[in-house]
């Protein structure tokens, strides 16, 4: 089994794949809208601090456990210490992580399908007729299920091709494209009237809000979601890293790429909100709040594109291509969690494992589409508000307490021989044992009150 495991073929391949997982709807939609409704740059500052103070150490816990074990999340956690009760505990936490990954993907693929539908709507208007375009624009069971099936199929096809030819090859193709589309869109939006007001709102912090507990909480949730933590995605990607790669540096680069992308996406979305306002599009709801949720993506931005005339259609196509691509490279990392287990524990072929896991998750998505009001926000809350932080803490504890200091050191030293004298080694082992779990729990408990 060990020989047949996939591996990333290069540093850049891993970085683009891990950044592909991290950069998703959370960065382009979640981050800018949270920033817009939470004091602009104040949110940005807190987010950046938490990303490096809480999310980076937790990311390192996952990457290190992954590369040390060279296995999927269940096997990895169960084998860290083979004695009872650690092994049973590891097994349990591992399966909880898979369950959360499956739930996240079941709603994520659905939202990704909406992005695909919005991408096809202006295309259909250009290539076919208004009626076809309207079919894509209006939410209904067939559209949602079909678009979600499309996204799920793409995800399965990439994952079935394996680590190097699937995950790495497609992340390497799609991530640069994603960045180019984003830069192009920013260039266009910043030239429109009203954009500079958006830049001001985004970049000048409302200092008074820096210590607002609600803001800190949203920023932590956002950082954990954005870095794909707690469900074993980063663990499995870490397990495909070569021993010669320097883990702390890789983790730091992924964190920087992720936060950098979120920041850059803010340069598009927040000015776009102000440009829309300057064009007479309603950007505040009746109760005076900024329209930040689905309304922003599906009403405000499309209304802005419609105001732009001919260029607007192309803007819409480019924007929703951006969203669909970002969602796809994230979805593949979520699907890899169950697939790696089917392959490594149950000896299924990769292709079978991918179609089987993808099929199960797609049935869950269909269930959510069917019982949308009851299930959609329930799935999101259960997995991201509860599942992710609690599992994040557990993974820190496993790295800090179950894996001995000696083993941690020898694992990290593989790609970084001078690790013992580094600042990282002076701080992180203790930090991941005490400080990180305590801070995450504290923030989590705050949120329950």
Binding site for ligand TRP (CB under 6 A): 21-22, 24-27, 104, 225-226, 228, 231, 233, 330, 333-334
- The least CB distance from residue 386 to ligand TRP, in Å, is 13
Nearest distance from residue 377's CB to ligand TRP, in Å? Answer: 16
Place of tokens 């607007």: 312
Max Cα separation, the chain?
67
Q: Which is nearer to ligand TRP, 104 or 160 (CB)?
A: 104
For ligand TRP, give the closer residue by CB, 25 or 304: 25
Q: Which is nearer to ligand TRP, 21 or 33 (CB)?
A: 21
Q: Of 233 and 365, which CB lies nearer to ligand TRP in the complex structure?
A: 233
- Shortest Å distance, C-beta 266 to ligand TRP: 14
* C-alpha–C-alpha distance, residues 332 and 18, integer Å: 11
According to DSSP, residue 72 is labeled -
Q: Which of 324, 32, 328 is nearest to 189 (CA)?
A: 32
Residue 284 DSSP SS3: strand
Nearer to ligand TRP, 259 or 330 (CB): 330
CB 193 within 8 A of CB 276: no
Query: Cβ closer to ligand TRP: 21 or 38?
Result: 21
CA–CA gap between residue 168 and residue 179 (Å, rounded): 17
d(CA 280, CA 193): 12
> In angstroms, what is the minimal distance from the CB of 167 to ligand TRP?
12
Nearest approach, Cβ of residue 171 and ligand TRP (Å): 12
Cβ neighbors of 280 (< 8 A, separation 6 or more) are 307
| Helical axes 41-50 vs 247-278, angle rounded to 10° | 170
Closest distance to ligand TRP from the beta carbon of 232 (Å)? 8
Question: Does a cis peptide bond (omega within 30 degrees of 0) precede residue 388?
Answer: no
Distance CA(354)–CA(349), nearest Å, equals 9
Residue 290 β-bridge partners:
284
Exposed / middle / buried, residue 94 (Cβ in 10 Å: 0-12, 13-18, 19+) = buried
Q: How far is the CB of 297 from ligand TRP (least distance, A)?
A: 13
Report the distance separating Cα 34 and Cα 223, nearest Å: 11
Minimum distance from residue 209 beta carbon to ligand TRP (Å): 23
- For residues 25 and 440, which CB has a smaller minimum distance to ligand TRP in the complex? 25
- Which residue is it, tokens 């490096």? 52
- The least CB distance from residue 222 to ligand TRP, in Å, is 9
Map 337-373 to HEC letters.
HHHHHHHHHHCCCHHHHHHHHHHHHHHHHHHHHHCHH
**Cβ atoms 22, 176 nearer than 8 A:** no
Q: Which is nearer to ligand TRP, 33 or 133 (CB)?
A: 33
Minimum Å gap between C-beta 382 and ligand TRP is 13
Closer residue to ligand TRP (CB): 69 or 226: 226
Closer residue to ligand TRP in complex, CB, 226/277: 226
CA 312 to chain centre: 28
């Amino acid at each position: 089994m060990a020989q047949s495991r996939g591996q990333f073929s290069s540093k850049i391949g891993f970085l683009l794949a891990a950044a592909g997982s991290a950069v998703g709807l959370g960065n382009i939609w979640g981050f800018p809208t949270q920033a817009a409704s939470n004091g602009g740059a104040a949110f940005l500052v807190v987010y950046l601090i938490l990303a490096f103070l809480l999310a980076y150490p937790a990311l390192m816990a996952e990457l290190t456990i992954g590369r040390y074990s060279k296995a999927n999340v269940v096997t990895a956690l169960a084998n860290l210490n083979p004695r009872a009760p650690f092994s049973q505990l590891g097994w349990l936490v591992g399966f909880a992580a898979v369950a959360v990954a499956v739930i996240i993907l079941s709603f994520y693929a659905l939202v990704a399908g909406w992005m695909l539908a919005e991408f096809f709507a202006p295309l259909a208007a250009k290539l076919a007729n208004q009626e076809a375009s309207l079919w894509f624009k209006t939410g209904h069971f067939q559209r949602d299920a079909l678009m979600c099936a499309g996204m799920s199929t793409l995800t399965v096809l990439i994952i079935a091709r394996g680590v190097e030819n699937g995950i790495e090859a497609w992340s390497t193709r799609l991530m640069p494209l994603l960045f180019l589309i984003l830069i192009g869109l920013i260039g266009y939006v910043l030239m429109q009237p009203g954009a500079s007001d958006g830049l001001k709102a985004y970049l000048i912090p409302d200092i008074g809000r820096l210590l607002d507990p609600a803001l800190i909480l949203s920023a932590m949730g956002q950082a954990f979601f954005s870095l794909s933590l707690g469900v074993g995605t980063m663990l499995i990607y870490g397990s495909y890293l070569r021993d010669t790669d320097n883990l702390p540096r890789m983790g730091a680069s992924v964190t920087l790429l992720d936060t950098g992308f979120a920041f850059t996406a803010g340069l598009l979305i927040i000015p776009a909100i102000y440009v829309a306002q300057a064009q007479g599009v309603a950007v505040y709801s009746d109760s005076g709040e900024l329209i930040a949720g689905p309304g922003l993506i599906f009403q405000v931005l499309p209304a802005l594109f419609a105001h732009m005339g001919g260029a607007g259609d192309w803007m819409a196509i480019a924007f929703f291509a951006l969203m669909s691509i970002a969602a796809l490279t994230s979805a593949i990392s979520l699907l890899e969690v169950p697939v790696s287990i089917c392959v490594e524990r149950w000896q299924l072929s990769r292709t079978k494992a991918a179609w089987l896991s993808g099929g199960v998750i797609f049935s869950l998505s269909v269930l959510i589409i069917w019982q949308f009001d009851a299930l959609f926000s329930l799935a999101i809350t259960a997995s991201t508000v509860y599942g992710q932080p609690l599992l994040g803490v557990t993974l820190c504890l496993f790295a800090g307490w179950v894996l001995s200091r000696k083993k941690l050191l020898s694992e990290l030293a593989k790609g970084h021989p001078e690790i013992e004298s580094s600042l990282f080694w002076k701080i992180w082992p203790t930090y991941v044992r005490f400080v990180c779990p305590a801070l995450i729990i504290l923030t989590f408990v705050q949120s329950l009150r």
